[in-house]
Amino acid sequence: GQNIDQPTEMTATEGAIVQINCTYQTSGFNGLFWYQQHAGEAPTFLSYNVLDGLEEKGRFSSFLSRSKGYSYLLLKELQMKDSASYLCAVRANSGNTPLVFGKGTRLSVIA
Amino acid sequence: NAGVMQNPRHLVRRRGQEARLRCSPMKGHSHVYWYRQLPEEGLKFMVYLQKENIIDESGMPKERFSAEFPKEGPSILRIQQVVRGDSAAYFCASSPGPRDNSPLHFGNGTRLTVT
């Protein structure tokens, strides 16, 4: 089976840093993806990790530890517009196979 | 707009009617995926198609649901004899050729309400 766990909700203050964790147990592993989804909108791709370590992209960074089945998304210098759901997804099989998604973490950024 | 296009954005059907959801992938993408999302739930995979072929339909209910991606035209997700439990947001995504690092690009979804 496939299992991806994320916290349901988080709250953080504007200008701060927040870390959203994701743990996964899947039948295989060929990459982990993070998406952002604003209410009523399409999920948009943020980052991709397949090797252990940190990938940095502007204010957003994503970390992966394959041995621990663990990833996190780090958001720096939080802005009000970062209030959204953040979805962790794993590609369990090789090739262009479907992604398995966690339930998402709803982040609220407050002033 | 070169993104994934879904229509309609909102669809209301009475119980027992049919719902047809359309998806045009991004230009140059030949792989289409359908997902369903319920409130407070994650995206649940339904079906994966390439042109004229169903590659993986393991997430799609065996009855009442069908999907196609013809050689010409959009991909269609069809739900026959809808029931209240079918009310959800249905998202389509597309990607280019088979690479592990290909993200899925999502459309804005169709919100189906069954009354």
pLDDT per position as a tens digit, B66-108: 999 999 999 999 999 999 999 999 999 999 876 767 889 999 9
CA B92, B14, A40: angle at the middle one, nearest 5?
Answer: 35
**A41 interaction partners in chain B (CB closer than 8 Å):** 108
Cβ of residue A2 closer than 8 Å to a chain B Cβ: no
Other C-beta atoms closer than 10 Å to the C-beta of B6 total 23
- Which one of A99, A100, A103, A106 makes the best mutation probe of the B interface by having the most chain B beta carbons within 10 Å? A99
- Decide if A98 touches B, using CB distance below 8 A: yes
**Tens of pLDDT along A65-107?**
999 999 999 999 999 999 999 999 999 887 778 899 999 999 9
For B82, list phi and psi in degrees, rounded to 5.
-60, 150
Cβ of B106 under 8 Å from any chain A Cβ?
yes
Query: Which residue's structure tokens are 């262009």?
Result: A96
Hey, are the CB atoms on B108 and A42 less than 8 Å from each other? Answer: yes
What span, in angstroms and rounded, lies between the C-alpha atoms of B41 and A80? 23
Contact B100 A94 (CB under 8 A): yes
- pLDDT above 90: residue A53: yes
**What pLDDT score does B98 carry?**
66
DSSP annotation of A55: E
CA dihedral A106, B1, B2, B6 (to 10 degrees): 60
Count of CB atoms situated within 10 Å of the CB of A31: 20
